[in-house]
Amino acid sequence: MKLSGWGRFPVLEAAVFAPRNESALIERVRAGRLIARGNGRAYGDSAISRQNTVHMRHFDRMLAFDEATGQLVAEAGVLLDDVIRALLPRGWFPAVTPGTKFVTLGGMVAADVHGKNHHKAGSLRNFVDWFDLIDASGTVRHCSRTENTDLFDWTLGGMGLTGVILRVAMRLRPVETAWIRQTVMPAADIDAAIDLLEQSGDATYSVAWVDCLSKGAKMGRSLILLGEHALLEELTERQRESPLRIDRRRELEVPFLAPNGLLNGLTARVFNALYYWQGQRTAGTSLVDWNSYFYPLDVVLGWNRICGSRGLMQFQCVLPLDRSRIGLKALLEGISRTPAGPLLAVLKRFGAQSGGISFPMSGYTLALDLPVGERSLRLMRELDRITLAHDGRFYLAKDSRMTADTLRQSDARAQKFVQMRDKLAARSAFQSAQSERLAL
């Protein structure tokens, strides 16, 4: 069948299987060239194997939750959304969450996802106690910081290329309420944005929304959004009646593909200006519900269709701290030179690097969405070049078009990853269209 990632690009013809139990899954592993697929939220071709894509949707059981430690044990196909529905009402929230809750736990481990708290908490890896993985020989391996440590280190962030994640044990964090106390601060340019983020190291959550279409002195004009889990005493009397209620706004669906070109330089510019103006107006502190704070785009189910049939690409890089200021300016200049404006540009301070091949490192990450097209591809190649010139690297979960050369130039760990895959005999057993493209 035709298969694509969240960005609807590229679309590939792939053989898809959906085994219902462990032995059927192991049989698929023995067939080789397998990639496990969760909820298909990686942007590009990370979870597509033309020969052997294995959908994990039937492995969707939560197995145990320990109220004392906050440890959840669940099968890899469980959605983060389901975890929140079940456990937020009991006072627990994911310790690390990406920008969408429609990801599977297996996918989160494979991408070693980060959230708005990376500068303090690190990536998901810090909260994964163990996982069970089917390795290249079809054997189930229990992996933790003390057992099968190579597999533990390289599976987190390894994009499914070390084996099939079966079950995961991860810790959640206790929360008193389902509300976030958000502080919004405007920053006049990129320097001010970086300064504010550097000063906000104590904030639990921090992220900046960058209007990367503003030029000249206003280049990098931003809104800095900080967040803390609100305590019970901070809620209004009415909210305090059921502080952990998870009622959600009606989720809208983009019912069909938007006409191509609806989102263009002009509409993006208008959107950005409005957003910034609105943010400035509402600067200060307010209580925001968990869903709007962490998952603003999930409210529009299928928002990936907004770019029309062409699809959507995301560029996300991270620059090391000492090159961030100059590198971000170069990236923003590169972006402002092209008429095709990105939809969203998000800037985030990362904490330290850890693990074998995980994306984050101490510095700044910039992420932006672009409609698929020659102009966007040209821009992304230019941004690749600027990132490489500033010793940055790229997030595989977002990538749909990077070259193997670019990856190797950006990340010395790629070669080590290949060697590790050889050592694990995983190179023929586990392959995705992405791993083929990137020669991993």
Partner 1 sequence: MSNGPVLILGARSDIARALARKFAALGHPIQLAARCTDALAGDKADLELRHRVKVTLHAFDALATASHAAFTEGLPELPDIAVCAVGYMGEQANSERDVAAAIHVMRTNYEGPASILAQLANRFAERGSGTLVGISSVAGERGRAANYIYGSAKAGLTAYLSGLRNRLAKRNVHVVTVLPGFVATQATQGMRLPALLTARPEEVASAIAEAVARRRNVIYVRPTWRVLMSAIRNIPEGVFKRMNI
Contact residues toward partner 1 (CB under 8 A) are 18, 20-21, 60-65, 75, 82, 85-86
Quick one: 60 or 234, whose CB is closer to partner 1?
60
Q: Whole-number minimum distance, CB 71 to partner 1, in Å?
A: 12
SS3 track for the chain: CEECCCCCCCCEECCEECCCCHHHHHHHHHHCCEEEECCCCCCCCCCCCCCEEEECCCCCCEEEEECCCCEEEEECCCEHHHHHHHHHHHCEEECCCCCCCCCEHHHHHHHCCCCCCHHHHCCHHHHEEEEEEECCCCCEEEEECCCCHHHHHHHCCCCCCCCEEEEEEEEEEECCCCEEEEEEEEECCHHHHHHHHHHCCCCCEEEEEECCCCCHHHCCCEEEEEEEECCHHHCCHHHHHCCCCCCCCCCEECCCCCCCCCCCHHHHHHHHHHHHHHHHHCCEEEEEEHHHHHCCCCCEECHHHHHHHHCEEEEEEEEEHHHHHHHHHHHHHHHHCCCCCCCCEEEEEECCCCCCCCCCCCEEEEEEEEECCHHHHHHHHHHHHHHHHCCCEECCCCCCCCCHHHHHHHCCHHHHHHHHHHHCCCCCCECCHHHHHCCC
Q: Whole-number minimum distance, CB 77 to partner 1, in Å?
A: 11
Quick one: 89 or 261, whose CB is closer to partner 1?
89
Q: Whole-number minimum distance, CB 63 to partner 1, in Å?
A: 5
Q: Whole-number minimum distance, CB 56 to partner 1, in Å?
A: 14
Quick one: 61 or 337, whose CB is closer to partner 1?
61
Quick one: 89 or 296, whose CB is closer to partner 1?
89
Quick one: 59 or 154, whose CB is closer to partner 1?
59
Q: Whole-number minimum distance, CB 431 to partner 1, in Å?
A: 23
Quick one: 87 or 225, whose CB is closer to partner 1?
87
Quick one: 86 or 188, whose CB is closer to partner 1?
86
Q: Whole-number minimum distance, CB 110 to partner 1, in Å?
A: 21
Q: Whole-number minimum distance, CB 169 to partner 1, in Å?
A: 14
